[in-house]
C-alpha cells in the first residue's frame, strides 16, 4: 500500500536586518540563563559571536563562547567540541553562530550534552549504530552567517568519520534547531565567489526537493517509521517554488553587485525558503555526488576562499553535476523539470524551442557561466580515471539517493559524472 500521509516540521523563525540583536528576547522566553555559543575560528575573527554574547550579557544571560567548530566537522572535531562543552556546562540552551559547520557542531554538542553514550551510537547505520536520542535536547538557536546551507532548518549533522574516510551524518527530528535567526547583515561581507557557490547550493536545495521522489510513491509507513525527509509534498513544493522565483531575480545581482542590499536580502530569504522545503522533502543526486567531489579533492583552490586549503566548496560541488543529474531525472516528471526551468528563467528564449530535456540543464549552465563557476569536474581537477571512485563515493549516500525520482545505479552515476567533466565549450 502506498503512503498517503506526509508530515511537515520547521524551526521557528526570526528574519531580517537586526534579527541577531533580538536573540536575548528568545532566550528570555525560553528561560535560559546560561548559554553556550558554538562558532568556528573564522567566524569568531569577524567579531559577530562576541557582539551577540555582549548583547546577551547586557540582558543578564551568561554566554560562553567556544570556537570549537571545524570547517567540515569530523568525528574527532565533534568529540573535542563535546568534551569542551561538557567541561564548561551545564547550559540551558545552545546558540550556533556560523556556517553549516558551526550549526552542525552545535547539533552534535547538544545531542551529547543531553543523551548518554558515544557519538558513533547515533551516527547513521551502517557506519554508526543509528540510535535515536532518548531524551529531549536543549533549545538550539541557529544563526547562519553564510547564505545557503539551510543547516538552520534541517535535522541533520554532517560529519567525516576519519578512520573510515567517509562522510555521513546523524539525522533525527530532535536535532532540528528550535529557532532560526536569519540576519542578512551577517552575510554582508560575503565575497562574490562565496555568494556564487552558496547560491548554487540554495538553487539545488530548491530544485532537488522540487523534483524529489513524491511522498505518495513510497510504501506506507507507521508513525514511528516516519523520517524527517519524506519526499516531495505540497508544503515543501511551495517553499521550493518561492525560493526559485527569488533566485531568478536576485542571484546574478547578489554576485555581481555585492552592495545591492535588496538582492542580498532576497538571497537570504531564498536560502531560508529553500531550507524550509528541503529540510522536509530531502535532496537527491547532485547532493549525493557532492560528497565525493568535495571529499576527493587534490589541489583545487577556489577564488574567494582561504588559499591555504585545497577544497571544492559544498555549493560548487553540488552544482557541478546538477545540469547532467537533472537531464537524467527528466523522464521521472518532465512537467516538473520544465516548471522548475520556467521559475528560474522566466524570460525564456530560444532554448525553449529545442529538446525539452535540454532546457533545465541549459538554464543551469548559463547561470554557472555567468557567475564564474568552474566548467565542470575537469576544472576542479578530475578526469575520466576518477569516475569510478566518484561513483563509489556517491553510491554510499543511500539516504540521499533514496529521494531520487528514479532508481539510481552505479552506471547511471558514471554517465552523469562523465558528462559533467565539461559542461560547456
Ligand atoms: Zn547543500
Q: pLDDT digits over 54-88, tens only?
A: 999 999 999 999 999 998 899 999 999 999 999 99
Interval between CA 55 and ligand 1 midpoint (Å): 31
Whether pLDDT at 124 is above 90: no
Co-location of 22 and 107 in the same domain: yes
Co-location of 354 and 244 in the same domain: yes
**Is 170 in contact with 8 (CB distance < 8 Å)?**
no
Co-location of 407 and 328 in the same domain: yes
The pLDDT score that the predictor gives to residue 417 is 98
If we measure between CA atoms, which residue out of 330, 327, 319, 320 comes closest to residue 405?
330
Interval between CA 198 and ligand 1 midpoint (Å): 8
Co-location of 246 and 152 in the same domain: no
CATH assignment at residue 60: 3.40.50.1970
Co-location of 214 and 339 in the same domain: yes
- Whole-angstrom distance, CA of residue 102 vs CA of residue 95: 10
Tell whether 2 is covered by a domain: no
Query: How large is the average pLDDT for residues 245-249?
Result: 98
- Per-residue pLDDT band for 337 (boundaries 50, 70, 90) equals very high
Query: How large is the average pLDDT for residues 367-381?
Result: 98
**Is 217 in contact with 162 (CB distance < 8 Å)?**
no
Interval between CA 284 and ligand 1 midpoint (Å): 10
Co-location of 144 and 177 in the same domain: yes
Tell whether 85 is covered by a domain: yes
Axis-axis angle for helices 192-210, 261-281 (nearest 10): 40
Query: How large is the average pLDDT for residues 312-334?
Result: 97
Count up the domains in the chain and report the number.
Answer: 2
- Asked which of 158, 182, 206 is the last residue of a domain, the reply is 182
The pLDDT score that the predictor gives to residue 189 is 75
- Whole-angstrom distance, CA of residue 269 vs CA of residue 183: 10
Whether pLDDT at 366 is above 90: yes
- Whole-angstrom distance, CA of residue 291 vs CA of residue 408: 16
- Per-residue pLDDT band for 395 (boundaries 50, 70, 90) equals very high
**Is 204 in contact with 166 (CB distance < 8 Å)?**
no
The pLDDT score that the predictor gives to residue 149 is 80
- Asked which of 182, 202, 237 is the last residue of a domain, the reply is 182
The pLDDT score that the predictor gives to residue 252 is 97
If we measure between CA atoms, which residue out of 315, 69, 48 comes closest to residue 185?
48
Tell whether 58 is covered by a domain: yes
The pLDDT score that the predictor gives to residue 305 is 86
Tell whether 7 is covered by a domain: no
Interval between CA 54 and ligand 1 midpoint (Å): 32
Whether pLDDT at 245 is above 80: yes
- Per-residue pLDDT band for 102 (boundaries 50, 70, 90) equals very high
pLDDT in tens, 251-293: 999 999 988 889 999 999 999 999 999 989 999 999 999 999 9
pLDDT in tens, 409-422: 999 999 999 999 99
343: Cβ–Cβ under 8 A, 6 or more apart, which residues? 241, 244, 245, 248
Tell whether 331 is covered by a domain: yes
The continuous run of DSSP H or E covering 289 comes out as helix 285-295
- Asked which of 151, 182, 213 is the last residue of a domain, the reply is 182
Co-location of 26 and 109 in the same domain: yes
In the beta sheet, which residues pair with residue 72?
none
Query: How large is the average pLDDT for residues 190-217?
Result: 95
The pLDDT score that the predictor gives to residue 257 is 93
CATH assignment at residue 219: 1.20.1090.10
The pLDDT score that the predictor gives to residue 186 is 87
Co-location of 172 and 200 in the same domain: no
Interval between CA 31 and ligand 1 midpoint (Å): 33
Co-location of 84 and 157 in the same domain: yes
Tell whether 327 is covered by a domain: yes
The continuous run of DSSP H or E covering 32 comes out as none
Interval between CA 87 and ligand 1 midpoint (Å): 32
C-alpha cell at 376: 565542470
Interval between CA 8 and ligand 1 midpoint (Å): 19
End-to-end CA distance of the chain: 48
Co-location of 381 and 243 in the same domain: yes
Interval between CA 70 and ligand 1 midpoint (Å): 17
Co-location of 147 and 49 in the same domain: yes
DSSP conformation letters of 213-240? PBGGGSBP--GGG--S---B-HHHHHHH
Interval between CA 90 and ligand 1 midpoint (Å): 32
Interval between CA 151 and ligand 1 midpoint (Å): 9
Interval between CA 9 and ligand 1 midpoint (Å): 19
Interval between CA 190 and ligand 1 midpoint (Å): 17
Domain span at residue 270 reads 189-419
- Per-residue pLDDT band for 125 (boundaries 50, 70, 90) equals confident
% of the chain surpassing 90 pLDDT = 83
Interval between CA 203 and ligand 1 midpoint (Å): 9
* Average pLDDT taken over every residue of the chain: 94
Higher per-residue pLDDT: 209 or 124 = 209
**Is 177 in contact with 96 (CB distance < 8 Å)?**
yes
- Per-residue pLDDT band for 224 (boundaries 50, 70, 90) equals confident
Tell whether 229 is covered by a domain: yes
Tell whether 130 is covered by a domain: yes
Interval between CA 29 and ligand 1 midpoint (Å): 31
pLDDT in tens, 149-189: 889 999 999 898 888 877 888 999 999 999 999 998 887 77
Co-location of 52 and 176 in the same domain: yes
- Phi-psi map region of 176: left, alpha, beta (phi>0 left; psi -120 to 50 alpha): beta
The pLDDT score that the predictor gives to residue 229 is 85
The continuous run of DSSP H or E covering 403 comes out as none
Amino acid at each position: 500500500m502506498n503512503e498517503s500521509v506526509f508530515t511537515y516540521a520547521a524551526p521557528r523563525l526570526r528574519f531580517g536586518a537586526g534579527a541577531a540583536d533580538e536573540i536575548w528576547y528568545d532566550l528570555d522566553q525560553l528561560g535560559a540563563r546560561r548559554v553556550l555559543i558554538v562558532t568556528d575560528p573564522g567566524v569568531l575573527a569577524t567579531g559577530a559571536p562576541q557582539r551577540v554574547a555582549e548583547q546577551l550579557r547586557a540582558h543578564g544571560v551568561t554566554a560562553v563562547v567556544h570556537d570549537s567548530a571545524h570547517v567540515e566537522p569530523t568525528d574527532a572535531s565533534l568529540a573535542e567540541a563535546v568534551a569542551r562543552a561538557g567541561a564548561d556546562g551545564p547550559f540551558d540552551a545552545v546558540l550556533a553562530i556560523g556556517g553549516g559547520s558551526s550549526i552542525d557542531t552545535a547539533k552534535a554538542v547538544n545531542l551529547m550534552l543531553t543523551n548518554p553514550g558515544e557519538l558513533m551510537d547515533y551516527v547513521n547505520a551502517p557506519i554508526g549504530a543509528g540510535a535515536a536520542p532518548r531524551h529531549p535536547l536543549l533549545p538550539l538557536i541557529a544563526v547562519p552567517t553564510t547564505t545557503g546551507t539551510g543547516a538552520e532548518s534541517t535535522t541533520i549533522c554532517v560529519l567525516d568519520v576519519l578512520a573510515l574516510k567517509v562522510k555521513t551524518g546523524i539525522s533525527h527530528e530532535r536535532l532540528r534547531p528550535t529557532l532560526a535567526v536569519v540576519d542578512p547583515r551577517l552575510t554582508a561581507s560575503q565575497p562574490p565567489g562565496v555568494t556564487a557557490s552558496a547560491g548554487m547550493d540554495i538553487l539545488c536545495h530548491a530544485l532537488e526537493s522540487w523534483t524529489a521522489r513524491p511522498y505518495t510513491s513510497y510504501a506506507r509507513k507507521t508513525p514511528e517509521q516516519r523520517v524527517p525527509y519524506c519526499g516531495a509534498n505540497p508544503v515543501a513544493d511551495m517553499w521550493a517554488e518561492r525560493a526559485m522565483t527569488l533566485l531568478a531575480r536576485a542571484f546574478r545581482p547578489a554576485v555581481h553587485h555585492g552592495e545591492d542590499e535588496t538582492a542580498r536580502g532576497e538571497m537570504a530569504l531564498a536560502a531560508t525558503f529553500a531550507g524550509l522545503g528541503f529540510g522536509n522533502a530531502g535532496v537527491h543526486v547532485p547532493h549525493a555526488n557532492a560528497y565525493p567531489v568535495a571529499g576527493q579533492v587534490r589541489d583545487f583552490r577556489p577564488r574567494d576562499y582561504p588559499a591555504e586549503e585545497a577544497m571544492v566548496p559544498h555549493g560548487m560541488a553540488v552544482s557541478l553535476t546538477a545540469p547532467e543529474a537533472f537531464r537524467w531525472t527528466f523522464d521521472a516528471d518532465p512537467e516538473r523539470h520544465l516548471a522548475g526551468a520556467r521559475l528560474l528563467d522566466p524570460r525564456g528564449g530560444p532554448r525553449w524551442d529545442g529538446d525539452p530535456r535540454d532546457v533545465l540543464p541549459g538554464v543551469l549552465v548559463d547561470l554557472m557561466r555567468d557567475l564564474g563557476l568552474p566548467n565542470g569536474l575537469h576544472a576542479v581537477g578530475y578526469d575520466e580515471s576518477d569516475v569510478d571512485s566518484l561513483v563509489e563515493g556517491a553510491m554510499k549516500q543511500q539516504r540521499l539517493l533514496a529521494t531520487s525520482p528514479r532508481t539510481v545505479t552505479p552506471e547511471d552515476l558514471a554517465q552523469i559524472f562523465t558528462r559533467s567533466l565539461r559542461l560547456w565549450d
